[in-house]
């Protein structure tokens, strides 16, 4: 499907979005079944379920939503005028660059790579979204004039840049493949050795206070980065209204090819593969939740369900299990004791919390990972 003409101005769309009541928009979107397609922009389709991350706070923003907004940004004049020609890369192609920085590139990919590189060479900056193992988003900018890789990360400058290094290795590999073509012209690029360019952090201290809005920070960095500075300050307080505005913009944009004509999901299209799926001793009582719920509502429902079970046998059943580095489990009774908040935490529960923290992907993303030791190992020392 084609992208809307470049004369469209996203600023006009934003102004129209401000006039739309978010609560009414949320109710409208949530009135559809979860798999109903409500947005289709270029090659990205969003269902009601996909849009839920924009309707509630503290929900991780997925790559499909980010891509849809990037397509909206691409039509703005700011990305092709004022002497700064900017190419906005999608999360999909950013992932390809990262992959190709790690594994050999197949010959079948060369034609597509050359086409993409020719687009890169026509621009002065490349804005590349970086994803850290599905735990964090930040923006990298390849600034050709300054021969610099610019990093804008809402978590500040202390995060690992291993994903960025792989992405730059993939970009350099793509550039070298294209350079072997007859008539290759660097244009304004000084060279193609991007892995040797200076990497500069432009946000030193953490400005994000929650754990879910990094993708929204990144989109605002894309909007406001001039190549030297942010033209508008970006703060945590900006995130909530921006999150709501993105929901309205994506749904109401003229780029949305199914605006006003949602495509309902046909259950007959589902293919269910039960291979490898095994249900082990399901709890006798199940609770059905109305979705979506925000974090506080979900925790409240879960706590209520846990505390509602009084059968003695059920309370001794294993509810949480972990096998590495040694077998560890927690019963329903232990969970209930934790929630009562009237006694000290038991050893197994304490050790489980330590293990969860130690295996959190965000810990491995830090330049200096922490070493966690639970009570079993600390006592042994």
* pLDDT of 292 above 70: no
Nearest 5°: CA angle at 344, between 341 and 347?
125
How many CB atoms within 10 Å of residue 70?
22
DSSP 10-39: HHHHHHHHHTS-HHHHHHHHHTS-TT-EEE
Nearest 5°: CA angle at 161, between 159 and 167?
150
Element at 298 (helix H, strand E) = helix 295-307
Task: Name 216's Cβ contacts closer than 8 Å, sequence gap at least 6.
Answer: 61, 239, 242, 243, 246
pLDDT tens digits for range 162-211: 999 999 999 999 999 999 999 899 999 999 999 999 999 999 999 999 98
- State the Cα–Cα distance between residues 272 and 364, nearest whole angstrom: 34
- Residue 342 or 155, more confident: 155
By C-alpha distance, which of 146, 128, 138 is closest to 198?
146
Say what the pLDDT of residue 285 is: 47
pLDDT tens digits for range 99-141: 999 998 888 889 899 999 999 999 999 999 999 988 899 999 9
Say what the pLDDT of residue 178 is: 95
Query: What percent of the chain has pLDDT above 70?
Result: 78
Element at 127 (helix H, strand E) = strand 125-131
Length, in residues, of the chain: 381
Say what the pLDDT of residue 77 is: 58
* pLDDT of 4 above 60: no
How many CB atoms within 10 Å of residue 199?
14
* pLDDT of 373 above 80: no
pLDDT tens digits for range 245-275: 999 999 999 999 999 899 987 665 555 444 4
* pLDDT of 78 above 90: no
By C-alpha distance, which of 189, 43, 172, 163 is closest to 105?
172
What is the rounded average pLDDT of the residues 24-49?
A: 94
- State the Cα–Cα distance between residues 105 and 113, nearest whole angstrom: 10
- The alpha carbons of the chain give a radius of gyration, in whole angstroms, of 24
The domains of the chain, with CATH numbers, are: 10-252 (3.40.395.10), 295-380 (no CATH)
- Residue 93 or 380, more confident: 93
* H-type alpha helices, 36-107: 48-51, 63-74, 91-100
How many CB atoms within 10 Å of residue 31?
10
* pLDDT of 367 above 70: no
The residue with tokens 């849009």 is 51
Say what the pLDDT of residue 75 is: 84
- State the Cα–Cα distance between residues 297 and 290, nearest whole angstrom: 10
Nearest 5°: CA angle at 130, between 79 and 258?
60
* pLDDT of 5 above 70: no
Copy the structure tokens of residue 34. 């979860």
Confidence at 289, pLDDT banded by 50, 70, 90: very low
What is the rounded average pLDDT of the residues 43-72?
A: 93
Say what the pLDDT of residue 307 is: 81
Query: What percent of the chain has pLDDT above 90?
Result: 52
- Residue 226 or 83, more confident: 226
What is the rounded average pLDDT of the residues 45-67?
A: 93
DSSP 128-153: EEEESTTS-EEEEEEETTTTEEEEE-
* pLDDT of 363 above 80: no
Query: What is the DSSP pairing of strand 125-131 with strand 148-152?
Result: unpaired
What is the rounded average pLDDT of the residues 276-289?
A: 45
Phi and psi (nearest 5°) for 70?
-60, -40
């Amino acid at each position: 499907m084609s992208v809307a003409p470049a004369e469209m101005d996203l600023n006009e769309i934003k102004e129209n979005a401000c006039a739309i009541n978010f609560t009414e928009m949320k109710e409208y979107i949530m009135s559809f079944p979860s798999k109903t397609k409500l947005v289709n922009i270029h090659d990205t389709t969003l269902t009601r379920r996909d849009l839920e991350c924009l309707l509630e706070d503290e929900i991780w923003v997925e790559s499909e939503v980010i891509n849809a907004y990037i397509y909206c940004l691409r039509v703005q004049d700011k990305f092709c005028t004022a002497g700064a020609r900017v190419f906005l890369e999608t999360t999909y192609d950013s992932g390809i660059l990262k992959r190709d920085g790690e594994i050999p590139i197949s010959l079948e990919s060369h034609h597509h790579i050359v086409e993409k590189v020719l687009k890169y060479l026509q621009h002065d900056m490349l804005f590349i979204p970086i994803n850290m193992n599905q735990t964090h988003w930040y923006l990298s900018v390849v600034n050709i004039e300054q021969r610099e890789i610019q990093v804008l990360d809402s978590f500040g400058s202390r995060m690992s840049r291993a994903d960025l290094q792989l992405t730059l290795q993939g970009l350099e590999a793509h550039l070298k493949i294209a350079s072997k073509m007859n008539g290759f012209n660097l244009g304004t690029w000084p060279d193609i050795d991007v892995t040797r360019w200076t990497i500069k952090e432009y946000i030193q201290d953490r400005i994000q206070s929650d754990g879910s809005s990094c993708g929204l920070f990144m989109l605002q960095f894309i909007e406001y980065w001039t190549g030297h500075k942010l033209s508008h300050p970006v703060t945590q307080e900006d995130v909530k209204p921006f999150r709501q505005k993105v929901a309205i913009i994506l749904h109401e944009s003229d780029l949305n090819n199914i605006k006003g004509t949602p495509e309902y999901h046909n259950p007959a299209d589902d293919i269910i593969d039960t291979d490898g799926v095994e249900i082990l001793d399901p709890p006798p009582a199940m609770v059905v939740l109305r979705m979506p719920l925000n974090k506080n509502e979900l925790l409240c429902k879960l706590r209520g369900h846990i505390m509602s079970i009084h059968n003695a046998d059920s309370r001794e059943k294993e509810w949480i299990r972990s096998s590495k580095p040694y077998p560890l489990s927690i019963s329903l009774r232990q969970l209930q004791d934790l929630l009562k908040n009237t006694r000290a935490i038991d050893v197994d529960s304490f050790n489980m919390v330590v293990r969860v923290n130690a295996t959190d992907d965000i810990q491995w993303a830090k330049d200096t990972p922490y070493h966690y030791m639970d009570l079993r190992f600390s006592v042994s020392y």
